[in-house]
Amino acid sequence: MSSDARKTQNRSIVLTDNDRQRLQPILLTQAATTGIIQGDMQTIGPQLPTEFVDLLILDPPYNLTKNFKGYTFNQRSVASYNDWLDAVIRLLMPTLKPDASIYICGDWLTSASIFTVASQHFTVRNRITWEREKGRGAKRNWKNSNEDIWFCTRSADYTFNVEAVKLRRRVLAPYRKNDGSPKDWEETDQGSFRDTHPSNFWSDITIPFWSMPENTEHPTQKSEKLIAKLILASSNPGDTVFDPFLGSGTTAVVANKLDRAYLGIEQNQEYCLLAAKRLEMAAQDHTIQGFNDGVFWERNTKSGRSK
Ligand SMILES: C[S@@+](CC[C@H](N)C(=O)[O-])C[C@H]1O[C@@H](n2cnc3c(N)ncnc32)[C@H](O)[C@@H]1O
């Protein structure tokens, strides 16, 4: 694709000076139960009230050296990453309601730490693996093309809305009942579809890229579709969703679009402002790419969607 074509199709969200001035006053700097706090979660965490969170989404720096606009997380030994993650969970534990759910994101290496640490504090219920599609080829190793999200709960009492996260797939073998009607699928003008139970392998996710209207410059932004699955499955409208490593604001934006309250903490002001701009945009447009008519769509079934 030519660079001109890329320029015209680039829908990434960027901040103007006007955005910065307008949105800066929205950012909080002290502990609160809703909104975006610009600050260090290690400092703010202990100041938060107790037992107000229904769903905690943790997308922390992975055990890699990465610069988040001036703040660099340095790769460390597995034992030392375990200690770091353990301290994060201990800090956040008092904020969780007894029936809260917790999701923790990581790559293959961080994933081992997550299980070790999370199982000390929570009931670990599953590990979701999602296909990133994009990934850098390696000369002497297998390319990393997927990541994990660990699903945990504080107790046996927890929310799981399975009907809200079904995946609509095209039917390959359209079995019919004796009377000729579709067995467990639906015949539509656009084709035949079945809504299937969500599994712990997600191959329908795309990481945000420049032609998607949710894309920002954040280096590790999660897609709205991915976060929407977590929020719909593990919370109800009106619940509070907390993300103490908010980044570009995906969790806050999706929570808002799905009528949940949100609290986010992020150390970098530009990322906080991007989150605030995305929330402003969400007030005009509640759509989530890949989630239409109340169902998630498998990749490449676009022609069957109503929008
Ligand atoms: C993996 S990214 C999260 C990306 C996010 N899920 C999104 O969709 O944009 C982790 C974020 O945590 C932030 N961060 C790291 N340490 C932090 C701390 N101690 N307090 C607050 N934010 C922190 C980084 O600046 C980075 O934006």
pLDDT at 167 over 80: yes
Which residues does 10 contact at the CB level (< 8 Å), separation at least 6? Answer: 210, 211
pLDDT at 268 over 90: yes
Between the CA of 26 and the centroid of ligand 1 the distance, in Å, is 19
Strand partners, 277: none
- The whole-number pLDDT of residue 307 equals 40
Name the region of 203 (left: φ>0; alpha: ψ -120 to 50; beta: rest). Answer: alpha
Domain harbouring 162, CATH code = 3.40.50.150
Q: Helices in 108-223 by DSSP H: which ranges?
A: 108-121
Contact 219, 199 (CB under 8 A): no
Residue nearest to atom 25 of ligand 1 (CA): 68
pLDDT at 306 over 80: no
Range of the domain at 27: 3-304
Between the CA of 176 and the centroid of ligand 1 the distance, in Å, is 50
Q: How confident is the model at residue 302 (pLDDT cuts 50, 70, 90)?
A: low
d(CA 4, CA 123): 51
pLDDT at 238 over 60: yes
pLDDT tens digit sequence for 111-152 = 999 999 999 999 999 999 999 877 778 899 999 999 999 999
pLDDT at 304 over 60: no
pLDDT at 280 over 90: yes
* Most confident by average pLDDT, 151-155, 177-181, 204-208, 300-304: 151-155
Between the CA of 128 and the centroid of ligand 1 the distance, in Å, is 21
d(CA 209, CA 219): 11
Structure tokens at 169: 């797939």
The chain-wide mean pLDDT, for the chain, equals 93
d(CA 300, CA 307): 14
Give percent above pLDDT 90 in the chain.
78
pTM equals 0.94
Which DSSP symbol is given to 31? -
d(CA 268, CA 259): 26
Domain count, the chain: 1
Residue nearest to atom 4 of ligand 1 (CA): 247
Give percent above pLDDT 70 in the chain.
94
* Most confident by average pLDDT, 170-179, 207-216, 261-270: 261-270
For ligand 1, what atom is nearest to the CA of residue 245? 12
Structure tokens at 220: 């590790």
Between the CA of 60 and the centroid of ligand 1 the distance, in Å, is 6
- The whole-number pLDDT of residue 163 equals 94
Strand partners, 188: 191
Contact 246, 264 (CB under 8 A): yes
- The whole-number pLDDT of residue 137 equals 85
Nearest to 48 by CA among 244, 271, 234, 266: 244
- The whole-number pLDDT of residue 244 equals 98
pLDDT at 279 over 60: yes
Query: Which three-class secondary structure state does DSSP give residue 26?
Result: helix
Nearest to 149 by CA among 120, 131, 124, 129: 129
- The whole-number pLDDT of residue 95 equals 98
pLDDT at 185 over 90: no
Structure tokens at 15: 């901040």
